[in-house]
């Protein structure tokens, strides 16, 4: 296991990747819900897709935009997500692929 120092130097905080990190996403991928607890007793949930054992978060705003696109183009197979900004100022844009 090593010393505390070695472990501290090698430590990387766990991070959930984002759907915007992917080049293309199939609309047929399974969406899963992950539950987390903060230091308080508050629980929060995120939607994820799993690719090669890695979780990629799918924000609710992405699902909302995709719903609107699918109403107009129900045969859409793949899309890409463009992410701009950070934190509360993050915005997402769905790009249709085919």
Q: Is 46 within 8 Å of 33 (Cβ atoms)?
A: yes
Cβ of 94: how many Cβ atoms within 10 Å?
A: 20
Phi, psi of 46 (to 5 degrees): -135, 155
Nearest to 82 by CA among 94, 90, 69: 94
Which pTM value belongs to this model?
0.79
Torsion sign (Cα): 62, 67, 69, 73: positive
Task: Residue 15: count other Cβ atoms within 10 Å of its Cβ.
Answer: 8
The DSSP output letter for 75 is: T
Per-residue pLDDT of the chain (98 residues; tens, 9 = 90+): 789 988 888 888 777 899 999 999 999 999 999 887 766 677 888 999 999 999 999 999 999 999 999 999 999 999 999 999 988 899 999 999 97
What string of DSSP letters covers 31-66?
PEEEEEE-SSS-EEEEEEEEETTEEEE--HHHHHHH
Predicted pLDDT at 87: 85
Model pLDDT, residue 15: 77
Domain ranges of the chain: 13-97
């Amino acid at each position: 296991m090593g010393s505390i120092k070695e472990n501290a130097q090698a430590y990387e905080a766990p991070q959930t990747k984002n759907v915007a990190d992917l080049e293309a996403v199939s609309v047929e991928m399974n969406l899963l819900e992950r539950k987390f607890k903060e230091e308080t007793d508050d629980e929060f949930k995120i939607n994820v897709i799993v690719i090669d054992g890695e979780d990629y978060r799918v924000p609710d705003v992405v699902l909302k935009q995709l719903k609107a696109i699918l109403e107009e183009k129900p045969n859409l197979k793949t899309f890409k997500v463009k992410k701009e900004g950070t934190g509360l100022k993050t915005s997402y844009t769905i790009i249709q692929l085919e």
